[in-house]
Chain A
Amino acid sequence: MSAVSVRGVTVTLGGARVVDEVVLEVEEGEWLALIGPNGAGKSTLLRAIAGLVPFDGEIALGGTPLRALRRREVAQRLAFVPQAPLLPPDLPVREYVLLGRTPHIGTFAAEGARDHAAAGRALERLELGPLAGRPLHALSGGEQQRVVLARALAQEAPLLLLDEPTTSLDIGRQQQALELVAELREQRPLTVVSAMHELTLALQYADRVVLLAEGHVVAAGPPAEIVTEELIGAHYHADVRVIANGDGPVAVVPRRPAR
């Protein structure tokens, strides 16, 4: 059964069809990368799957229609990491990560031992233990991004939606963050859908890539078949080279037009 199935989904924001009749299936345990130029509808599609924007069409999580689930039940099934999370500056790291346990805690109840344990595991997993007592504003951009990921992990949902998970990270941190997601997938069944700007990373990490343009799916398939000079060139209006080694394509680099 598909972890996520999107059937003919349209999202209209301010009169514009930002996501237009999108159809896609995400298999359980798969890592699907959504790529496409700015404004292609990647983030909006993710937010629709997370139940955060109204949509037309059908979205189902593990076979259950999203509309039939309560907000809390959705939050138990998926964790959403937005592109620019709002971080309360004075909140300590540990308290912030604990907020990820919200879908597992009764509305008027307090966290229990299980919640503290889950938050502790997430902190440890992302090597944030030494920072647990620090306020969020005292962290670097990369540390903040890891803290947000830790909050999503503490949620312990089988589906992880990542909106541009590497935007504010340097190349080393980008690699570490994505390696971490890859490792998590080896340890427990985890389905990942991520919107990605970095085509090289999409090429290296995703099992499958969906290319969106102007709200439509224009191509979908294994990374090597989608991240090509022709498709990227046409939809990003870019002049790029896709570099391959023995195993296939590994990098996308811009090519400066000759003068």
Chain B
Amino acid sequence: MTVVSRRLPVICAAVFVGGAALVGLLVGPVSLGVGEVLRSALAHLPLVHVGSHLSQADDAILWQLRAPRVVLGALVGGMLALAGASYQGVFRNPLADPYLLGIAAGAGLGATLAIVYAPGVVHSYDLTPLAAFAGGAVGVVAAYSLGRSAGGRSTASLILAGVTVTSFLTAVQTFVQQQHSQSLQEVYSWILGHLDTAGWHEVALVTPYILISAVVILLHRRVLDVLSVGDEEASSLGVNVRRTRLLVVVFATVGTAAAVAVTGLIGFVGIIVPHAIRLVLGPSYRLILPLSFLGGAGFLVLTDVIARSVMAPAELPIGVVTMFFGAPFFAIVLRTSRSFA
């Protein structure tokens, strides 16, 4: 594919993210108007002198409620889709998702423990994100060391280790949850994913992890194409397969753990976004990786709009929406595409 034909899809995806962000800023119980939102956005840019006509309350709604939510949704959606695509690449397994290696179950257990044993706040600080991050990390380290000790180099043993660790941690999490049924609702809404607590604090929390992870993964986009011919051949082409796989897995995992820590478990994004892109644009990771990030960002911002509008003022857990709308969307892509490998 030539450079020009590679640029076009990236431009389209960037426009999609911009459009999704605008929708995210516009939709809500208080109507703000496209013109005013754009005007206020311009006013926030440096070197641009445009006055905003928004009242102080409307300005706060736009910049303290909706904007951080849109930004967080975009970062998390982009990261989950990118992590999914890179896991599918390094494991050469189309069903690999960002939660493959026990991260989801670990984070779920960590969050449940925090919700149950440190309810609300400790010294006015919510421990849930930290506990989820730590739990996710423990899950992945356990899965990775089990997989390495069991099967050495094979990726199948790593995936099976992920399944094993996930089952065990889920069992523990379910047990703790059953013992404390009074916090069932809170645990559930965390597990199903949420962006409703999003503020600039959360954005600041995840941005460094997600940006660094995304940059490292995107740098490997060509190498992931080489891995698609198999470990031995990639190695005969001069690629250090084990080091590449470890690096990509570590950074995809760190980014995912950061995302999960603040938004809970948002399912399906890491599977459907990369696959939809693969089906439309082909198997090259040089397109799949950057477009998964952009596509995932736009997708999650839009699903969040749905999650907070269909039952307004109540909110649906966003994980439910990603699955409810994601599955039929994916079914359409699957049916209309020529081949599926």
Contact = CB atoms under 8 A, between A and B. Distances in A.
Interface of A: 47, 50-52, 71-76, 79-80, 82, 85-92, 95-96, 99-100, 102-103, 105, 107-110, 135, 137, 155
Interface stretch (B27-35, B103-111, B231-239, B289-297): B231-239
A86 B238 contact: no
Given A85-B233, A89-B341, A137-B339, A103 B228 contact: no
Contacts of B235: 51-52, 71
Interface in B289-310: none
B233 A91 contact: no
Interface string B193-234: 000000000000000000000000001101101101110110
7 contacts: A51-B235, A73-B238, A82-B233, A86-B229, A91-B284, A99-B225, A105-B222
Contacts of B226: 99, 102
User: Which bucket holds chain B's interface residue count?
Assistant: 20 to 34
A88 B240 CA distance: 19
B8 interface: no
A50 B229 contact: no
B1 interface: yes
Nearest to B279: A90
Contacts of B238: 71-76, 102-103
B229 A87 contact: yes
Given A85-B229, A87-B229, A108-B219, A52 B236 contact: yes
A82 B239 CA distance: 16
B9 interface: no
Top 5 A-B pairs ranked by shortest CB distance?
A: A75-B238, A86-B230, A72-B238, A103-B238, A80-B236
Among A99, A105, A155, chain B packs the most CB atoms within 10 A around the CB of A99
Given A85-B229, A99-B226, A102-B238, 11 more contacts: A51-B235, A75-B238, A88-B283, A88-B341, A89-B341, A90-B283, A91-B282, A91-B284, A95-B1, A102-B237, A108-B220
B11 to A, nearest CB: 18
B contacts with A: majority SS: loop
Contact of A100 (B237, B282, B339): B237
A67 to B, nearest CB: 15
Contacts of B229: 85-88, 96, 99
Given A82-B233, A91-B228, A71 B239 contact: yes
A51 B235 CA distance: 9
A95 B225 contact: yes
Contact of A89 (B222, B230, B240, B339): B339
A88 B237 contact: no
A91 B226 CA distance: 11
B283 A91 contact: yes
Nearest to B283: A90
A89 B228 CA distance: 10
A71 B225 contact: no
B219 to A, nearest CB: 5
Contacts of B237: 75, 99-100, 102-103, 155
A32 B233 CA distance: 22
Among B229, B230, B232, chain A packs the most CB atoms within 10 A around the CB of B229
Contacts of B282: 90-92
Contacts of B228: 86, 88, 91
Contacts of A47: 232
B86 to A, nearest CB: 15
A86 B250 CA distance: 26
Nearest to B220: A108
A90 B1 contact: no
Contacts of B278: 90
B233 A102 contact: no
Contacts of B284: 91, 95
Contacts of B339: 89-90, 135, 137
Given A87-B229, A88-B341, A91-B228, A75 B236 contact: yes
A123 B287 CA distance: 23
Nearest to B241: A71
A135 B341 CA distance: 12
B13 to A, nearest CB: 19
